Amino acid sequence: MTDAFDPRLLVQAWPRPAKPRPIVTFGAGSIVGDAHFPAYRKAGFPVAGLYDPDEAKAQTLAEKWGVTAFRSVDEAAAVKDAIFDLATPPGRHAEVLKALPDGAVALIQKPMGNYLGEATEILDICRAKKLRAAVNFQLRFAPMMLALKDAIAKGWLGEVVDFDAWLALATPWQLWEFLLKAPRVEIAMHSIHYLDLIRQLLGDPKGVHAKTLGHPNHTVAQTRTSAILDYGDRVRCALSINHDHKFGRRHQACEFRICGTEGAAYVKLGLNLDYPRGEPDVLEIYPKGGSDWVRVPLTGEWFPDAFVGRMANVQRFASGEDNELVSSVEDAWNTMALVEAAYRSSAAPATPLAEKP
């Protein structure tokens, strides 16, 4: 560690592959047009084409981006030396993975199935077919999060002992039609990003106390969550998530506070505050030995830059340039286990109050 904290020295981007492979995408939903394809074009990653069972939707998106609209899963899976990019609903991942050639490289949209049982099935398929597969937990690759991880690794916070996630915002769930009737929404589709990031920074917790619920003003299954992750007697980790704070921007928030024994960090996840347009992300560090907060000049945003880094790691792992496949299915299964534990905790009775004598 240098004598003085220089925020410009924090790593914010993943190295690009020398010779990227063609990408074949399964799915033509909003996440593909809003994040995947913009990221791949920005990075210069070649997209061979896409497949979606809705032929009209697939053709429209393919024409917009100048790629091929494949006529079947088998046709898409036949592209040689491709990176297979599954932007499919969680319940469809398994059938697509089964159609891929043995030994293929795949990036699977989160979550890794709707339930832990589906995640286990996906893990079994990947093991049996020797697929080199990762799950698209791309928040790990956002510039602000790469910089945060680097600051922690370089000792600028000391030992991390506190992690707070606080969200009070209005999320437009109607943008994702398949979620409107889904039995699991908030933790499985949203806070899973935060749980996965926390696992990367703090490791696996001993357990979780959680309550997740909906809201009387709509029928989305869950949009509010409170959770405490148990890391023993040294680390406190809490999440307060409210997607129904629809009272104007003034008191809305989407932020993390990470405190160490010798420094601290503040993160604002701007995308969520006006999704999908968003606001700028923010990272500030109070470094070890410092006397004030230092703003880190960010070189990109969560969308689309995190998708660039996520795919870059998959590409580089496929070519042997990276030794680690970040968020491999083996590791991602543990995030799914944490999600499952949170839902089990939410469904279990709370500790009752003592009866008055």
Cα 335 from Cα 349, distance rounded (Å): 23
> What's the average model confidence in pLDDT over 69-86?
98
Backbone φ, ψ for residue 63 (5° rounding):
-65, -40
Dump pLDDT digits (tens) for 250-305.
Answer: 999 999 999 999 999 999 999 999 998 899 999 999 999 999 999 999 999 999 99
Query: Which tokens is 88 given?
Result: 């499919």
Instruction: Kindly report the number of other CB atoms within 10 A of residue 211's CB atom.
Output: 16
> What's the average model confidence in pLDDT over 113-138?
97
Q: CB-side exposure of 40: number of CA atoms within 13 Å?
A: 25
Mean pLDDT of the chain: 97
Q: Which contiguous run of DSSP H or E holds residue 318?
A: helix 302-319
State the pLDDT at residue 176.
Answer: 85
Query: Is a pLDDT exceeding 90 seen at residue 2?
Result: no
Cα 228 from Cα 239, distance rounded (Å): 6
pTM: 0.96
Burial class of residue 320 in the structure, from the number of CB atoms within 10 Å of its CB (0-12 exposed, 13-18 middle, 19+ buried): exposed
> What's the average model confidence in pLDDT over 126-150?
98
Dump pLDDT digits (tens) for 175-194.
Answer: 888 889 999 999 999 999 99
Query: Is a pLDDT exceeding 60 seen at residue 1?
Result: no
* DSSP calls for 226-282: EEEEE-TTS-EEEEEEETB--S-STT-EEEEEEEESS-EEEEE-GGGGGTTT----E
